[in-house]
């Protein structure tokens, strides 16, 4: 490791985990495509990482030979963490590396190179923390100040030669008084990363009281949880009623026991962790209302079969979801106020004059909701192609973070799992989500007679802050009417 440190000052450059998705704070190394000793070139993909939004491949931003992989596969690291060291071609050190003073500690800054990932290459400063102003000792302005500083540091200028310890013993009490105010000014802001600060805020933990265990005195998540645990336990016992000595033992419940031989623990991280947080935030922020309608979709199913034989749809995926998506887009055109979002900061309803149609897709990494940009402008064949590409990309785990941002309304098809209906939770920032139930043959009154018909149930959840019952009902009724009579796709457009 000593050789590695010395080389890094010269020709070895370190590549840090970039922010690959607009503000994400961490990512997991899924797979390394290179090993120590391999030659890499600028733009070559060296690893695959999973963020809270998607799996992304990372290219290296310079040429050279891999010296070391600092992070093993399966490890989650914070943005800004060094993950790979590369000995640059030619062995020439960047100009910043040969500079003296503080500049020598800064990360080399390549010039004239464009970012290749969202958020990559735009942060000019290093993530290495430097002493804060409050923690620095200002330069003395006079000999008197130097004398005071010398006394506070324990080596007064009046004692040029080392003397026996008892000689200066009477003097320490004098500087002890000014030392107290100095300590009172010292409490600088504790070192902690933004996610840790948010965790502390959520748990009601004062970071100034937390004992840090991270490198350079940084407070970690574990430190916050450790500080919160003893603070939360006594809160269960009323402070106003003194309990006898045996009472605390009775109040505290035994620690839960786990059977490691018959249980499996799965860490919640990446996409699944982000989805869980988003759903909790949505469920307890937006007042949800869900309405249901059961509709005869026999004619829609016939239309699907006819389109499969149409040469304009050759090679395209044609299914009921395609017609339902088109029906939803037509219903939005008839009820444009449904396509909106709630701006809490400005207390405004933001009407969207475009439709980025989200499609919930189940993947091995969890639920993803990529969206089709400007879906309202697409004809049926184009919409079919977009749906097919979206689903295929999601299932392969190659959905980009950009594809999951900016959605306005979402469709979730629970019917593919044989489920009749459900009460979907809004995708954060959207006003409505439509759930499609299973399409089944059921007895239905048609033209005055009970006949077997293809029937499904639709469920629409919407944000009641900006969508009232009338608007939500009209919108859902229009979707159902189109699916019952698909010719309305022409008469209503």
* Whether the Cβ atoms of residue 323 and residue 436 lie closer than 8 Å to each other: no
DSSP state of 319: -
**358: closest CA among 319, 401, 387, 327?**
387
Helices 298-308, 469-484: inter-axial angle, 10-degree rounding: 60
Q: CA 490, CA 9: separation in Å to the nearest integer? A: 69
* Residue 138, phi then psi, degrees to nearest 5: -65, 150
Question: Which residues 6+ apart lie within 8 Å of 250 measured at CB?
Answer: none
* Whether the Cβ atoms of residue 379 and residue 493 lie closer than 8 Å to each other: no
Confirm whether 464 is a catalytic residue. Answer: yes
- How distant, in Å, are the alpha carbons of 29, 34, 86, 365 from that of 73? 5, 12, 18, 16
**Tokens 């004619």 belong to residue:** 299
Q: CA 477, CA 473: separation in Å to the nearest integer? A: 6
Question: Which residues 6+ apart lie within 8 Å of 360 measured at CB?
Answer: 367, 368, 369, 410, 411, 412, 413
**152: closest CA among 133, 163, 138?**
138
**457: closest CA among 402, 414, 405, 406?**
414
**Tokens 């009775």 belong to residue:** 250
What burial letters (b/e) apply to 450-478, b meaning 16+ CB within 10 Å? Answer: eeebbbbbbbbbbbeebbeeebbbebbbb
* Whether the Cβ atoms of residue 188 and residue 130 lie closer than 8 Å to each other: no
Burial of 362 (0-12, 13-18, 19+ CB in 10 A): middle
Instruction: Pick the catalytic residue from 155, 353, 376, 464.
Output: 464
DSSP string, 322-352: HHHHHHHHHHHHHSGGGSEEEETTTTEEEE-
Sheet holding 45-50, edge to edge: 55-59, 45-50, 26-32, 76-78
* Whether the Cβ atoms of residue 262 and residue 451 lie closer than 8 Å to each other: no
DSSP state of 149: H
User: Which residues are annotated as catalytic?
Assistant: 464
């Amino acid at each position: 490791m000593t050789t590695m440190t010395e080389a890094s000052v010269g020709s070895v450059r370190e590549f840090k985990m970039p922010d690959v998705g607009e503000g994400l704070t961490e990512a997991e190394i899924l797979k390394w495509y290179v090993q120590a000793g391999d030659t890499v070139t600028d733009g070559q993909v060296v690893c695959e990482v999973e963020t809270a939004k998607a799996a992304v491949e990372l290219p290296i931003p310079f040429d050279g030979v891999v010296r070391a992989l600092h992070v093993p596969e399966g490890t989650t690291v914070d943005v800004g963490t060094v993950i790979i060291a590369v000995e640059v071609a030619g062995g020439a050190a960047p100009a910043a590396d040969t500079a003296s003073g503080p500049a020598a500690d800064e990360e080399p800054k390549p010039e004239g190179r464009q970012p290749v990932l969202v958020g990559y290459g735009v942060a000019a400063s290093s993530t290495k923390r430097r002493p804060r102003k409050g923690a620095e000792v200002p330069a003395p302005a006079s000999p008197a100040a130097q004398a005071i500083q010398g006394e506070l540091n324990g080596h007064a200028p009046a004692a040029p030669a080392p003397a026996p310890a008892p000689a200066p013993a009477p003097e320490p009490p004098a500087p002890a008084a000014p030392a107290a105010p100095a300590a009172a000014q010292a409490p600088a802001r504790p070192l902690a990363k933004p996610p840790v600060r948010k965790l502390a805020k959520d748990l009601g933990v004062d970071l100034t009281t937390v004992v840090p265990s991270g490198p350079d005195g940084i407070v970690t998540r574990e430190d916050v949880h450790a500080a919160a645990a003893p603070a939360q336990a006594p809160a269960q016992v009323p402070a106003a009623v003194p309990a006898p000595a045996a009472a605390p033992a009775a109040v505290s419940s035994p620690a839960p026991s786990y059977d490691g031989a018959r249980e499996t623990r799965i860490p919640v991280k990446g996409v699944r962790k982000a989805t869980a947080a988003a759903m909790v935030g949505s469920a307890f922020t937006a007042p949800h209302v869900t309405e249901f309608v059961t509709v005869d979709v026999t004619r829609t199913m016939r239309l699907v079969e006819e389109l499969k034989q149409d040469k304009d749809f050759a090679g395209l995926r044609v299914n009921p979801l395609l017609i339902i998506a088109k029906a939803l887009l037509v219903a939005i055109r008839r009820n444009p106020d449904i396509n909106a979002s709630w701006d809490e900061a400005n207390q405004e309803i933001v009407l969207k004059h475009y439709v980025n149609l989200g499609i919930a897709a189940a993947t091995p990494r969890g639920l993803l909701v990529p969206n089709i940009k400007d879906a309202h402008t697409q004809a049926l064949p184009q919409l079919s192609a977009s749906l097919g590409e979206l689903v295929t990309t999601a299932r392969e785990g190659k959905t980009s973070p950009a594809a999951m941002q900016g959605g306005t309304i979402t469709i979730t098809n629970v019917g593919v799992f044989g489920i009749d209906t459900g009460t979907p939770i809004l995708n954060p920032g959207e006003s409505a989500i439509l759930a499609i139930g299973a399409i089944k043959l059921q007895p239905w009154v048609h033209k005055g007679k009970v006949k077997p018909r293809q029937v499904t149930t639709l469920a629409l959840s919407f944000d009641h802050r900006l969508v009232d019952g009338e608007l939500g009902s009209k919108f859902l009724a229009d979707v159902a009417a189109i699916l019952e009579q698909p010719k309305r796709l022409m008469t209503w457009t």
